[in-house]
Amino acid sequence: NAGVTQTPKFQVLKTGQSMTLQCAQDMNHEYMSWYRQDPGMGLRLIHYSVGAGITDQGEVPNGYNVSRSTTEDFPLRLLSAAPSQTSVYFCASSLTGSLGEQYFGPGTRLTVT
């Protein structure tokens, strides 16, 4: 099993550009989520999904969209990048929702100039 994979590893965007961060898992987990990690702060939940076709907002959803068309994939879209979105983004999946062990991807380091 590859676990949770994320692409790209690094990305630089200009303000106003859009892009999609990819996340995939091969463990047949229903629960998937996106976090951002900033220096001096804990991981903050952006969006999450409890299964295909179902998504919900987390703590910091503004400026991000998600969709869940399959169990395996959970892409995160930045609609119009802003410098405040410079961060490291982690995708995670879990067999039993938020109560279960979260399996994190390797992260995407995004810089918006």
The DSSP bridge partners found for residue 78 are 19, 64
Distant-in-sequence contacts of 41-49, Cβ < 8 A, 24+ apart:
43/90, 46/76, 46/89, 47/76, 48/98, 49/74
Which member of 1, 2, 14, 101 binds another protein (CB under 8 A)? 101
Which member of 34, 64, 74, 90 binds another protein (CB under 8 A)? 90
Q: Does 10 bind another protein (CB under 8 A)?
A: no
Give the footprint of another protein on this chain (CB under 8 A).
4, 40-45, 48, 50, 56, 58-59, 90, 92, 97-99, 101-102, 104-107
